[in-house]
Amino acid sequence: MKFFIPTPSHSAVGLGPLTIHYYALCIILGVVVAIFLGRKRYAMRGGDVDEIIDCAIVAIPAGIIGGRLYHVITSPDRYFGTGGHPIDALKIWDGGMGIWGAVALGTLASWFIFKRKERSLTFAELLDALAPGILIAQGIGRFGNWFNGELFGRPTNLPWALEIPPNLRPAGFENFRTFHPAFLYEALWCFAAAALLIWLEPQLKARSGTIFLAYTATYCLGRSWIEALRIDQAHHFFGLRLNEWVSFVGLVLSLFILLRRHRRSSGVALHHD
């Protein structure tokens, strides 16, 4: 008998009048890990760790709002189309968080708070300190998708395939039992990318902000091929899913800035020589 990854039969647990969703617990755990690692890395740079908390207070809710807004805006039919329920757009615990919106609005909110008074380090150094932890948080958060029975790819019979219950299978795939565990691929990619950034950092000795740019590039690279596996409903442009285009643009922009920085630093070094 082949081994497959099962989809959990429960996505929440009831404690008296409260219902605790595992998706939310994964998000919370990811945030805790990101703050813990970010504080450690910020302190190693000589920064005041309280500044991490200052930013987290606004960045976390802003990131959740931004992530949900991106998901709803890019998947409007699910909530406002035929048979959709607009009120479901508020049900974050049911899944549906766009990483791009979360990072964008969370970063913007952090910048706004960070710049309001004098800080021990620059905002770019703050982003560098947080980058690996953000990747780990994203990886942990993806296990919330597993509990919700979502974020899977094309059908497959590989030993690590994800078994999806009939009621969660997309239209046209009702007769397939197992699928690529896209949530797991992305989680492992995020963990590996975080380890890579931490390992490379002492060797890069680059300008502030380089680690965050490398985070953007590595995540976009992984997300591009993982997104190509997905079969859930999405808007397509010129044959590619919207998130594939976003990943491609993010990858190209971050690599362009990194290359430009490298050329500038090489030019300065040659000038000094």
The answer to whether residue 28 is domain-embedded is: yes
Name the more confident of 266 and 183.
183
Number of independent structural domains in the chain? 1
The answer to whether residue 236 is domain-embedded is: no
Which residue type, as a one-letter code, is found at position 11? S
Which residue type, as a one-letter code, is found at position 134? I
Tokens standing for 138?
A: 């994203």
The answer to whether residue 135 is domain-embedded is: yes
The answer to whether residue 218 is domain-embedded is: no
Specify the pLDDT at position 266: 62
Rounded mean pLDDT, 237-264: 89
In sign, the C-alpha dihedral spanning 202, 203, 207, 209 is negative
**pLDDT tens column, 38-97:** 999 999 999 999 999 999 999 999 999 998 888 888 777 778 777 777 887 777 777 677
Band (265; pLDDT cuts 50, 70, 90): low
Spell out the long-range contacts of 173-181 with Cβ–Cβ below 8 A and sequence spacing 24 or more. 173/231, 177/4, 178/4, 179/152, 179/153, 179/154, 179/155, 179/231, 180/152, 180/153, 180/154, 180/155, 180/156, 180/229, 181/5, 181/146, 181/152, 181/153
Band (206; pLDDT cuts 50, 70, 90): low
User: Other CB atoms closer than 10 Å to residue 116's CB: what's the count?
Assistant: 9
The residues, ordered by sequence, that sit 6+ positions from 85 with a Cβ below 8 Å of its Cβ are: 79
CA–CA–CA angle 233, 236, 241 (5° rounding): 75
**pLDDT tens column, 224-247:** 999 999 988 778 888 888 889 999
The answer to whether residue 229 is domain-embedded is: no
Specify the pLDDT at position 205: 66
Name the more confident of 140 and 260.
140
135 close to 193: Cβ distance less than 8 angstroms: yes
Q: Which of 87-96, 117-126, 158-167 has the lowest mean pLDDT?
A: 87-96
Structural domain range at position 27: 22-150+176-206
The answer to whether residue 29 is domain-embedded is: yes
pLDDT at 171 over 70: yes
The answer to whether residue 238 is domain-embedded is: no
Nearest C-alpha neighbor of 132 from the set 30, 23, 257, 29: 30
| pTM of the shown model | 0.89
The answer to whether residue 68 is domain-embedded is: yes
**pLDDT tens column, 89-120:** 777 777 677 888 899 999 999 999 999 888 99
pLDDT at 269 over 50: no
Specify the pLDDT at position 270: 44
**Rg of the Cα trace of the chain?**
20
